[in-house]
Amino acid sequence: MAPTDISMRWERIAGAVYFVLYLMILTSLVDYVSNTYPIDPGAATWRYGALGILGQFLPTPLFAVALILLLASALYQRGHVRFVAVFSAVMALALVLGMVSFTLDAVQVRADVPMDQKGLFDFAVARSLFKLFTSAAAFALCALAGRRVLAVMAEREPRPKEGKPLVVGS
């Protein structure tokens, strides 16, 4: 595909845009880890809390992933599209597994919640599960979109011409 004037202008700023978008993902990860530190995966209350607040940190990396996919698709940059497809698939799977763990931990932690606060607790669990589910679905959509974009890029890639084999020496 021949570059257009617009795509040439986008290519000039793409490096800076990618840097900011990847930084958004990294910053969200650092913020999440710092809010769940010290890590204690053996405690159901820690797992419940860590997975419960995860939904608050997911919109930023999800937005960054979608923008990386959009920019990389427009500029035919396979590496970034591949990153989005793989990262999004891993995130979707991790979130689905996290929802299962979160639900089991919530049931365990709920036993220690005072009777007059169980309604608020149940609402918080439902809200967190909603955020985790919608984020998992959005990451799955990004992974599928990335796979589709990679397939289209492969179809449009010029194929080597079939011809006579090159014979060297005699």
pLDDT in tens, 27-40: 999 999 999 999 99
Question: pLDDT of 97-107, one tens digit each?
Answer: 999 999 999 99
Rounded percentage of the chain residues whose pLDDT exceeds 70 = 89
Axis crossing angle, helix 59-74 with helix 118-156, rounded to the nearest 10: 10
In a domain, 168, yes or no: no
In a domain, 160, yes or no: no
In a domain, 148, yes or no: yes
In a domain, 121, yes or no: yes
Cite the DSSP H helix spans in 37-117: 44-57, 59-74, 78-110
Band of residue 156 on the pLDDT scale cut at 50, 70, 90: confident
pLDDT over 90 at 138, yes or no: yes
Band of residue 63 on the pLDDT scale cut at 50, 70, 90: very high
Q: Please, what sign has the CA dihedral across residues 83, 85, 86, 91?
A: positive
* pLDDT number for residue 110: 96
Question: pLDDT of 65-105, one tens digit each?
Answer: 999 999 999 999 999 999 999 999 999 999 999 999 999 99
Band of residue 17 on the pLDDT scale cut at 50, 70, 90: very high
In a domain, 165, yes or no: no
In a domain, 167, yes or no: no
Q: Report yes or no: 95 and 27 within 8 Å, Cβ to Cβ.
A: no
Q: Please, what sign has the CA dihedral across residues 43, 44, 48, 51?
A: positive
In a domain, 166, yes or no: no
pLDDT over 60 at 7, yes or no: yes
In a domain, 164, yes or no: no
Residue 146 tokens, joined:
């990335």
Question: How high is the mean pLDDT of the chain?
Answer: 91
Q: What number is the average pLDDT over the span 113-119? A: 95
Write out the residue range of the structural domain in which residue 76 sits.
5-153
* pLDDT number for residue 121: 96
pLDDT over 80 at 5, yes or no: no
Domain count, the chain: 1
Q: What is the pTM of this model?
A: 0.86
Closest CA to 32 of 67, 8, 56: 56
Distances (CA, A) of 82 to 35, 71, 141: 30, 13, 14
Q: What number is the average pLDDT over the span 110-135? A: 96
Please list, in sequence order, all residues whose beta carbon lies within 8 angstroms of the beta carbon of residue 10, skipping any fewer than 6 positions away: 71, 74, 75
